Structures are given as structure tokens and as C-alpha cells.
Structure 1
Amino acid sequence: MKIELIGLENLPLVKKDDDLSSLIVDVAFNQGLKWKDGDIIVIAETIISKAEGNYINLDSIKPGKKANHLAQKTGKSPELMEAILNHSREIVKVGNDFIVTETNHGFICANAGIDESNVEKGWATPLPLHPDKSAKNLRKNIELKIGKQLAVIISDTQGRPFREGAVGVAIGSSGIKTIWNRKGEIDLYGRKLETTQIAVADELAASASLIMGQADEGMPVVVVRGYSSFEILKDPESGAQDLIRPKKYDAFRQ
């Protein structure tokens, strides 16, 4: 068993109203990639937001009193802090150099997922407004062009509680179950699994981030090929919203 990670090289810088499906198909063709059923496209959330024109002009923001107060505490600019507040439904934790919020989507992450990297100075990109919908539209458009059955995962790089470093996680998905519920299956010793659920979309996003990179690699699209469970997990309706744990079950926010 093996899985391949194929980075799409020389993707042009994405701008508003670009047709991402055509860009991806064209770059893959130029690279000599022949699509296969079961290919999983992992794409960085930044270029989704760029193509959708979802930018924040930080220089145009007038911070309020709360943003100014939080900026002093975190060391972030008041303009960025105002943007974070605008894209959050709840502040989870504030420290000397960080803020963790629950985004309007329901994700728990630093800075509401707003990214100032790989974008022009003075601008930032928030998370896509409707990432599951964006993933679904992109998947359908690419499938129409290539005649193969795919999955699309929109990834972001986020930190994790109690652990250093950041990993790729799925914030949008279409075409594959994001969670694999294995409850009731038998382990190597004949015992039934009681609670095991696998965050499949997060694992795929994390694997793709190994070659996607975070700096100037310029490889925001990665094809994961050979995932043997694609057939049993393919699902046109599942999305990354399924990965969000309801607050009432969150032991750390009770």
C-alpha cells in the first residue's frame, strides 16, 4: 500500500475571479499529470479566498475601543485585531502575544484564521466564507472537465492545544467523508472498537502540507493519490463542518 503526494508546480498567482478549476486542470496537464478516479485535491485556503475576492484591506479599518485594548495586550496591530473581531463569534483565550477565537464558521483557531502571509503588504485573507460550498463547487467543476471522480479538501495551517507547532487541517471538504466512524469494528485482539472516529480529512490535509509548505514554496495545490479507502468513504454531502465539536461537548469550554 502506498500514497503519493503530487504537488502542482508553477500555478500562477491567483487573483479575484480566477477560475481555479481551469487553472488546476491546465497546470496538471502541463505537468503531465493524468487524473485518476479517487484523486484527492488538497488546496490552500488562501487561494480560495483570493479567487473569491475575499480580501481585507487592513489600512482601511478603523479599530474600535475593544480592538485597541486587545492590540495592546497581544502586540498585534489594532487594525488586524478589529478584523479578527469582525470574523469571530466568540473570544476563547487571549494571551500576551496571541488570541484564539471561534470563527463565524465555528472553527477554533488563532486570529480567526486571518492570514497575512502570501498576500500584498497591508492586506490579509480571511478564511473562505463558505468553505464546504467552495470545495463542492470546485470539485464539480474539475470533475466536469476531466471526467473522473474526485474529492477536494480546503486546508488551513493551525496550531493545536497542548502541542507545539502547526499542522494542516481541513476547513472545507467535498467528495469524501471527513470523519470515518469505526465504532463496532474489531481490533487485532478481537475486541470491538467503542468510540473510534478518524478525522480523515484532517489527516489528508496534514499529509499534503508536508510538500505544500508555508513560505515561498509556491505549491498551494497537492494531489493525494492512492488513498485505498476512498471508495468506501466517498460521499458528495459530507463537509468539514462535520469535524466541529459542538460546544456543549467541549470539556475545555464548559
Structure 2
Amino acid sequence: MTARLEVFAPDDLPEITAGDDLARLVADRADLHDGDVVAVTSKVVAKAEGRVRPGDRDDAVAGETARIVARRGPVLIVRTHHGLTMAAAGVDASNVATGTVVLLPVDPDASARALRERLLDLTGVNVGVVVTDTAGRAWREGQTDMAIGVAGLTPLEDFVGRFDGHGNELAVTMPAVADEIAGAAELVQGKLHGRPVAVLRGRADLVLPAGEHGPGAQALVRDDATDMFGYGAREAVVRALAGQPDDRAPFGTPATLDDLAAALAQLPGVSEVSEEGARARVAGADRTVGTAVAATCFAFGWQVDALDDTTSGIAVLVSPVTT
């Protein structure tokens, strides 16, 4: 038995403008089959939804930003209101008229659902739909496409609890199949060929029955509580030192006392960390240790309750933050 995957992209779509029936344009150019997955770039979805705005990219980014994650010179990585972490909030100034920019769709999952339902009405064919956008990745050079909107498709394939060919139980394996489809689609779409739509054929097993849209691409967005990289390295230091309550969430859930103690033990001047019920006492050589302890506690989801001078240095009493 041979596994086979086919991906193709029609190359004669016109320039998309506000109000265009994108599903009709796709249906007229692609012979869709039940179980196909239609991948559409967020840019043409946004254009059809009237998300083109006058102005430059920098002007538009602020309104699309929930919080800044990292900044390096002119490069700005932000968390959007969708929960996506992207450069410049996904605002795009390419392939649009000079002096205008394209914003991401307001609700990419809703856009995917609407496109899927319209394709079913037009063709009678049940397909999955993925709305894609391009993004960089932590630790990796270059960019690839990912799914920001999904309908009729399970975006994550959960292998946890299954066994491999050697009898080993899988503990964390969860392929992001919607992102894999987005990346495959980009290979045939390209960046300069005017092919914003691709059809992937050969994984009908991933497509849900008509009327069942699934959890959408929001299922791919990692919650702040479990995100290990809520801020860039430099930004995390500044946020921890500033210690503003609204900045806590991106540091994740509070750490255990063992994890906090291991971190505090690495600070210059800290001589001992001991447990006192639900709290901990940190002994240090002098008062300047208190600033480092407070910043570390903030980053680990703890807070300083009291700082006492002693004849031998200071003692800082800390406790986990409760909400």
C-alpha cells in the first residue's frame, strides 16, 4: 500500500477586492472532491472581507496588538487579539496598492467556516478549509505558513496513549496537521505567482462530516499559562524587574517551590532558601539581594511578602501568587 498526497494550486484567480465571492472563484477553478482540504491565504480572505486600510504598516500594528512580546530594532513581535504571536501583528504591505495595508481577518475561524459552508452550497462537496498566514519560528531561520483559521478539520492529531512499532507508549506526540497542510499548500502557491488558493488531496480521514467544523485554529494557540516563551529574553528581564501585575500572565502558571528555590539559589548573595508552610524564606547577604529575589519571584509566579533586616543580612519571605 502506497500513501499518496497531492497538492495543486489554480493560477488564474483575479485580484480579490472587498465583497468578492471567494468561494465561487475557487469552485470555478478547482475540481473539488469530498475529503479535499482547501487552503486559502489570509490575505485574500482579508481582502474579500474588506480588511484593506489606508496608511503604513507601523500605523496599523498598534490596533492589532494585544501585547508586545519582543522588539529588536525595527522588528516587532506581538501577540495579536487572536492570540497569534507574529511579526508586526500579521499586518501586510505587500501585494496591495501603495499606501495601503492588509490586516488579518477579524475571526479567521469564522472566515474558514463561512468559506466551507459556501463551497458546500455551491458544489455539494464536503471539504476542510484552512486559512493560512506566514510566520517565523523561534529557534529557526526563515518563515513557513501556518493555519490561523480552520473549519471541517481536526487541527491537531492526538497520538498520546498510542504505541509505536516497538511497543513504546507515546506521551506528548501531537502533530499540528493544520499547520502541516498550510506548509504543504505554500509549496505550490509560492510567494510571487499569484496563487493564493491550494487544494490538498489524500487526507480525507482528517476532514469532518458536513456541518461539523471542529475546534478551529484556536486549538493551536498555546495558552499563556503553558507558554514558556511569553516574552523575548530581554523583555522578560525588564517585565520581571518592573513587576506590574498585568504582566504576570505571559510568565505562565506559578512554579513549584522546588523550581523557585533552584532558581533563587543561582542568584549572587542568596545563601539559603527554606520552606515555611506554604511560603519560603530566602536568606541573603545584604539588602540589594531583595531586588533580584523580587524579580525572580515575579517571573516564577511568586511574590515578596516581607523583607527583614537581620544582623547577618536579610531575610525575604515569599509566597505563591493566588488569583
Smaller-chain TM-score bracket: 0.7 to 0.9
Of 7, 16, 30, which aligns to 2:18? 16
On the 8 A contact 2:57/2:93 being kept in 1, the answer is: no
Q: Which residue of 2 aligns with 1:48?
A: 45
1:124 Cα deviation after fit: 0.7
1:145 Cα deviation after fit: 1.2
CA–CA distance in structure 2, aligned partners of residues 176 and 98 of structure 1? 33
Q: Which residue of 2 aligns with 1:39?
A: 36
Name the SS of the counterpart of 2:152 in structure 1.
Answer: strand
Q: Which residue of 1 aligns with 2:101?
A: 124
**Greater RCO structure (CA 8 Å; 6+ sep):** 1
On the 8 A contact 1:153/1:201 being kept in 2, the answer is: yes
Q: Which residue of 2 aligns with 1:63?
A: none
**Pairing of 1:70-89 with structure 2 (within 5 A):** 79-89=56-66
Residue type at the aligned position of 2:148: I
Q: Which residue of 2 aligns with 1:221?
A: 197
1:230 Cα deviation after fit: 2.2
TM-score computed with the length of structure 2 as normaliser: 0.68
Q: Which residue of 1 aligns with 2:221?
A: 244
Name the SS of the counterpart of 2:35 in structure 1.
Answer: coil
Q: Is it true that 1:208 corresponds to 2:210 in the alignment?
A: no
1:12 Cα deviation after fit: 0.7
Report the count of equivalent residues: 228
Q: Which runs of 5+ in 2 are unaligned?
A: 231-250, 252-323
Q: Is it true that 1:230 corresponds to 2:230 in the alignment?
A: no
1:126-165 residue CA offsets vs partner (Å, 9 max, x unmatched): 1100100000000011011111110000000110011000
Once the two structures are overlaid, the 10-residue window that deviates more, 148-157 or 224-233, is 224-233
On the 8 A contact 2:13/2:195 being kept in 1, the answer is: yes
CA–CA distance in structure 1, aligned partners of residues 204 and 221 of structure 2? 25
Q: Which residue of 1 aligns with 2:154?
A: 177
On the 8 A contact 1:14/1:51 being kept in 2, the answer is: yes
CA–CA distance in structure 2, aligned partners of residues 229 and 192 of structure 1? 23
Name the SS of the counterpart of 1:120 in structure 2.
Answer: coil
1:75-96 residue CA offsets vs partner (Å, 9 max, x unmatched): xxxx422311110100000111
Percent identity over paired residues: 34
1:8-34 residue CA offsets vs partner (Å, 9 max, x unmatched): 120011001001111111122xxxx3x
**Pairing of 1:86-165 with structure 2 (within 5 A):** 86-165=63-142
Q: Which runs of 5+ in 1 are unaligned?
A: 59-78
Name the SS of the counterpart of 1:197 in structure 2.
Answer: coil
Change (3 A) 1:232 1:128: closer
On the 8 A contact 1:177/1:233 being kept in 2, the answer is: no
TM-score computed with the length of structure 1 as normaliser: 0.86
Name the SS of the counterpart of 1:83 in structure 2.
Answer: helix
CA–CA distance in structure 2, aligned partners of residues 22 and 231 of structure 1? 21
Residue type at the aligned position of 1:55: V
Name the SS of the counterpart of 1:86 in structure 2.
Answer: helix
On the 8 A contact 2:152/2:207 being kept in 1, the answer is: no
1:233 Cα deviation after fit: 9.3
Change (3 A) 1:197 1:227: same
On the 8 A contact 1:176/1:233 being kept in 2, the answer is: no
1:23-50 residue CA offsets vs partner (Å, 9 max, x unmatched): 111122xxxx3x2110000001000010
